[in-house]
């Protein structure tokens, strides 16, 4: 893995996280969470694509297809977990 490939992959993961946040909305804390988990899912997808030696859409060293898939699936999982956490919080009592 070269530094330009790492930076390019990180840029793609940040763009995916930003677009996901633009679609679902939220505050700065959620935005930073989406960026982190998008980055994490992207590199987990990269690792898995190297382990199974199969590629969907390869650009240089990166198998961008599996990386994007890993990023999106990770963020959907985090969104689902976060959505359940918001639903179980106690609602404010009204007078």
The distance of Cα 3 from the centroid of its chain, to the nearest Å, equals 20
The per-residue DSSP string of 22-44 comes to: HHH---HHHHHHHHHHHHHHHHH
Condensed to tens digits (0 to 9), the pLDDT of residues 57-66 reads 877 777 788 8
Going along the chain, which residue ranges are E strands?
58-59, 62-63
Condensed to tens digits (0 to 9), the pLDDT of residues 8-44 reads 888 999 999 899 889 888 788 888 888 999 999 988 8
C-alpha–C-alpha distance, residues 92 and 88, integer Å: 12
Q: Is the pLDDT of residue 72 over 80?
A: yes
Question: Cβ atoms within 10 A of the Cβ of 67, count?
Answer: 26
Q: What is the mean pLDDT of the chain?
A: 83
Query: What pLDDT score was predicted for residue 92?
Result: 62
Record the pTM. Answer: 0.74
């Amino acid at each position: 893995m070269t530094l330009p490939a790492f930076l390019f992959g990180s840029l793609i993961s940040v763009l995916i996280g930003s677009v996901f946040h633009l679609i679902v909305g939220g505050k700065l804390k959620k935005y930073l969470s989406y960026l982190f988990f998008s980055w994490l899912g992207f590199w987990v997808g990269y690792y898995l694509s190297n382990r199974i030696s199969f590629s969907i859409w390869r650009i240089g060293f990166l198998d961008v297809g599996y990386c994007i898939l890993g990023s999106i699936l990770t963020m959907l999982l985090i969104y689902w977990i976060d959505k359940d956490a918001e639903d179980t919080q106690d609602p404010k009592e009204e007078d």
